[in-house]
Amino acid sequence: MKKVVRQQLRLKSKPATQNCLLDITIPSSVTAGSPIHAVNISRIRADKLEWSLPDNAVITSKSNEGVVFTIPTPGIYEVILTGYLG
C-alpha cells in the first residue's frame, strides 16, 4: 500500500509600502515533493516584488508573475509576496 504524505501550505499576503496589498493564489494542500505553483494575482503593479519561501524550498522557476517550487518534507509553511512602491 502506498502512503500519501500531505504537506500543508498556509498563505499569507503581506502589505507593501504605501498600503499596497498584494494577492497570491496557491494550493492549500499538496503532496510533499510535488511542484507547487504560487501565482501573483494582484491588480496593483509594484515597482519591486519579493517572494519569501520556506528555507527548505527548492525553486524551479521564479518571476514577478509567479514561482514554482517543491518542499521535500510535510509541514505548515508560509509563502509571502512583498511589493514595494517607489
Type of residue at 81: L
Helix/strand/coil for 40 = strand
When pLDDT is cut at 50, 70 and 90, the band that residue 2 belongs to is: very low
**How many beta carbons lie within 10 A of that of residue 83, not counting itself?**
23
pLDDT for 5 beyond 50: no
The three grid cell numbers given for residue 37, joined into one nine-digit string? 505553483
CB 11 within 8 A of CB 29: no
The three grid cell numbers given for residue 71, joined into one nine-digit string? 518542499
First to last CA, the chain: 55
Rounded mean pLDDT, 53-81? 91
- How does pLDDT run across 11-64, given as a tens digit for each residue? 444 444 454 668 888 888 888 899 999 999 988 778 888 898 999 999 999 999
> What's residue 60's pLDDT?
97
